[in-house]
Copies of this chain bind each other. A is one copy, B any other.
């Protein structure tokens, strides 16, 4: 799957900014790949991009309309249909990370087929994968892992890609979830592949490369999350990372979706991830900690980052507040 850029980001009738978080991520990380945004009447989200009609975006070369808005239950709203059909008519493909498939909507499927356009349902892998070989391959890989779901694994991987590229290194973000795939223009929703092929899909996603090339693989879930740990372990074995960065959110009261179940300690989580990673790659090592400290005041955040770094002996950053440069320094120094 390769999603053609540049994009027109469709925000629909998003009731607030959070409903447009997919588009927000794309605009934040691939602004140069977006010609603008398209908002329907009543839309309360704004990415700060030029507001364009489908016709204007097409004239500026937009090649894909990204459905950048989440709807209740992952549905494709009837309200959006006219815009989507218009985009198809004007030469664009359509990409969506929603649960419901574009290709299950007869009007969209038929129009796309008639015009030879592609409907990218990025949450649903459209190809089959081999079982993982477990064989080592050339190139270097870093995987972001977590104490829990939704702790900044995608953001951290993208920040590491940006910092490595800024320093002139060869680096590619490898997306494993919907928003990441729309940002990268390709990838695999690993939690949606058949269980036997989690690791095989990850091997496919991060293939052999130049010896000095870094893949920054987006992690999913946590080895400690009782709902999703199988995905996390399959990803860890398939990525065969040389380096891991552990992501967490200080102060979160319990694992996401599991009330009463506390997050693991960073120390335990580091040790377990290292043990499991070394099954696939004996040289795997933890190179840093990325904390989302957005709920803390500046002084608390600084103190938390310093205390964590001192306790664990690893560079500890908040990718938003401090950037990830200390982790990249450590990664490249050793």
Contacts and interface: CB of A to CB of B under 8 A. Distances in A.
Interface of A: 131-134, 190-196, 198-200, 223-224, 226-235, 237-238, 255, 257-258, 261, 272, 275-276, 279-280
5 contacts: A134-B227, A191-B194, A192-B195, A229-B276, A230-B231
B231 A237 contact: no
B198 A226 contact: no
Nearest to A194: B192
A227 B192 contact: no
A234 B194 CA distance: 13
A312 B229 CA distance: 28
A280 B226 contact: yes
A134 B195 contact: no
Nearest to A200: B227
Given A224-B279, A233-B230, A275-B272, A134 B261 contact: yes
Contact of A230 (B192, B224, B234, B275): B234
B199 A191 contact: no
Contacts of A191: 194-196
Nearest to A258: B134
